[in-house]
């Protein structure tokens, strides 16, 4: 989902400039380069630096960044807006640190149970290309240097192009197209075995910074039916449930792994209506931990409805897909609630912003009237301690 990006997942972003000076030629003017030679050279290096950009057909813009990979579990990202991101996934609990030197502020996120992990970075994917399935593209000339091209398309979701220096047998440019997602990732300006003090990868915040700490639990979640009180105790912000409405036939509350990220805990309130519709309201700590970022995105979308209570509903451009993920997740966790065979093409998602600023997601399988939508939103009540 292009508009719902976690801090670890967000890579880098759009540029609107075009690379000039590229000259494509019909054939190499130096000896051919075998793909196996490229892989052999890449395997000689455990660390590298590159520039990373992403061009999207639509969606939010994020600055270009320089990425330093110390190893497969530690990296440093220097963003063109001046911020610095340090990511360390060596331990059971991964840590990310975002430094904003101009504001003397830092955000430290501890991801419990997320690690240990290796970075699924593009160059690691490149190493796994098979010689037989890698297509030669000939050569192109850039900045006076002849580069040899290779293409590998393992599936309809990923299309790689790698341009290699025939002397070093190392990548100079890597392009990864995601046709289904409408984006292309570019890596260039490679430096292998760069020089940078190990302290540059420390997750210790420098003295004098104002620190915000976020704790996210990524341990496996057992899908199970819970109570409204369980939602209240599990959230770090105001929790809501639904008052009984005349057209509600059934209400079930579940805790599940995030349908979107597949890790982390999400609370789903499922409603079955008297006209066989299925409604899901989702709540999680992510809505609070990254509230500023999420609200920036929400406010850029269409305001669909404002209820008399002050609650607002906003459109979600990826709402059909998000609704599918929620409905399928609920169906797996509790088949009594929903039969996935009944998934409707009418499904949609709205983002709810309550008067107190609390954010929730609303997924609906079939179209429903504005009258019922308003009644639903107006029936949301805070879950208070017993």
Mean pLDDT of the chain: 87
Q: Same domain, yes or no, for 145 and 228?
A: no
Q: Same domain, yes or no, for 227 and 209?
A: no
Q: Same domain, yes or no, for 274 and 238?
A: yes
Q: Is 310 helix (H, G, I), strand (E, B) or coil?
A: coil
- Residue 20 has a pLDDT of 23
Q: Same domain, yes or no, for 44 and 188?
A: yes
Q: How confident is the model at residue 274 (pLDDT cuts 50, 70, 90)?
A: very high
pTM: 0.69
In a domain, 111, yes or no: yes
Q: Where a domain ends, among 162, 191, 214?
A: 214
Q: How confident is the model at residue 209 (pLDDT cuts 50, 70, 90)?
A: very high
* Number of folded domains that form the chain: 2
In a domain, 154, yes or no: yes
Whether a cis peptide bond, with omega within 30° of 0, leads into 116 is: yes
**Any idea what the CATH number is for the domain that residue 79 is in?**
2.50.20.10
Rounded CA gap, 88 and 72, in Å?
Answer: 9
10 Å CB burial of residue 102 (0-12, 13-18, 19+) is: exposed
Rounded CA gap, 201 and 47, in Å?
Answer: 12
Q: What is the mean pLDDT of residues 222-230?
A: 94
Select, from the ranges 6-15, 54-63, 360-369, the one with the highest average predicted confidence (pLDDT).
360-369
For tokens 């600023």, the residue is 357
Q: Is the pLDDT of residue 6 over 70?
A: no
Q: Same domain, yes or no, for 249 and 149?
A: no
Q: Same domain, yes or no, for 181 and 240?
A: no
In a domain, 1, yes or no: no
10 Å CB burial of residue 29 (0-12, 13-18, 19+) is: exposed
- Domain around 61: 22-214
DSSP states along 239-252: -EEE---TTEEEEE
Return the minimum-mean-pLDDT range out of 80-89, 115-124, 172-181, 208-217.
Answer: 115-124
Rounded CA gap, 267 and 256, in Å?
Answer: 7
Higher pLDDT, 234 or 30: 234
Q: How confident is the model at residue 72 (pLDDT cuts 50, 70, 90)?
A: confident
- Residue 216 has a pLDDT of 85
Q: What is the mean pLDDT of residues 141-166?
A: 91
In a domain, 96, yes or no: yes
Q: What is the mean pLDDT of residues 299-323?
A: 93
H or E stretch at 172? strand 170-178
Phi, psi of 309, rounded to the nearest 5 degrees: -70, -15
- pLDDT tens, 329-379? 999 999 989 999 999 999 999 999 999 999 999 999 999 999 999 999 999
Q: Same domain, yes or no, for 248 and 162?
A: no
Q: Same domain, yes or no, for 149 and 257?
A: no
Q: Same domain, yes or no, for 293 and 199?
A: no
- Residue 299 has a pLDDT of 92
- Residue 158 has a pLDDT of 87
- Residue 129 has a pLDDT of 79
In a domain, 273, yes or no: yes
Q: Same domain, yes or no, for 247 and 361?
A: yes
Cβ pair 318, 3 in contact under 8 A: yes
Tokens of residue 214, six digits = 């976020």
Q: What is the mean pLDDT of residues 267-280?
A: 97
What does DSSP assign to residue 198? G
Please give the order of strands across the beta sheet that includes 359-364: 224-225, 248-257, 265-273, 278-283, 359-364, 348-353, 312-315, 303-306
- Residue 26 has a pLDDT of 35
In a domain, 108, yes or no: yes
In a domain, 300, yes or no: yes
- Residue 120 has a pLDDT of 66
């Amino acid at each position: 989902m292009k508009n719902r990006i976690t801090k670890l997942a967000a890579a880098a972003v759009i540029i609107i400039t075009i690379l000039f000076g590229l000259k494509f030629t019909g054939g190499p003017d130096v000896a051919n380069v075998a793909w196996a030679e490229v892989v052999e050279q890449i395997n000689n290096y455990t660390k590298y630096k590159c520039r990373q950009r992403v061009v999207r057909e639509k969606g939010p813009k994020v600055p270009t960044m320089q990425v330093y990979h110390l190893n497969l579990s530690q990296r440093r990202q220097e963003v063109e807006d001046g911020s610095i991101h340090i990511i360390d996934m060596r331990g059971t609990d991964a840590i990310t640190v975002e430094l904003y030197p101009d504001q003397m502020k830092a955000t430290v996120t501890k991801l419990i149970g997320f690690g240990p992990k290796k970075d699924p970075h593009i160059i690691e994917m490149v190493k796994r290309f098979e010689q037989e399935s890698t297509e030669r593209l000939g050569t192109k000339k850039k900045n006076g240097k002849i580069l040899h091209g290779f293409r590998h398309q393992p599936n309809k979701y990923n299309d790689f192009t790698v341009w290699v220096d025939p002397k070093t047998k190392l990548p100079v440019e890597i392009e990864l197209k995601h046709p289904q997602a409408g984006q292309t990732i570019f890596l260039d300006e490679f430096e292998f075995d760069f020089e940078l003090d190990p302290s540059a990868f420390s997750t210790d915040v420098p003295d004098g910074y104002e620190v915000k700490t976020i704790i996210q639990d990524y341990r496996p979640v057992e899908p199970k039916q819970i109570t409204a009180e369980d939602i209240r105790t599990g959230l770090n912000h105001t929790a809501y449930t639904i008052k009984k409405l005349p057209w509600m036939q059934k209400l079930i509350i579940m805790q599940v792994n995030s349908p979107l990220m597949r890790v982390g805990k999400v609370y789903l309130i499922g409603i079955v209506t008297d006209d066989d519709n299925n409604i899901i309201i989702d709540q999680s700590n992510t809505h609070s931990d990254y509230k500023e970022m999420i609200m920036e995105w929400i406010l850029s979308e269409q305001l669909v409805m404002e209820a008399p209570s002050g609650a607002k509903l906003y459109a979600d451009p990826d709402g059909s897909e998000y609704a599918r993920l929620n409905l399928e997740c609920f169906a797996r966790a509790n088949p009594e609630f929903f039969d996935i065979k009944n998934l409707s093409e009418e499904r949609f998602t709205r983002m709810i912003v309550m008067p107190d600023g609390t954010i929730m997601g609303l997924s609906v399988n079939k179209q429903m009237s504005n009258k019922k939508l308003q009644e639903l939103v107006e029936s949301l009540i805070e879950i208070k301690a017993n």
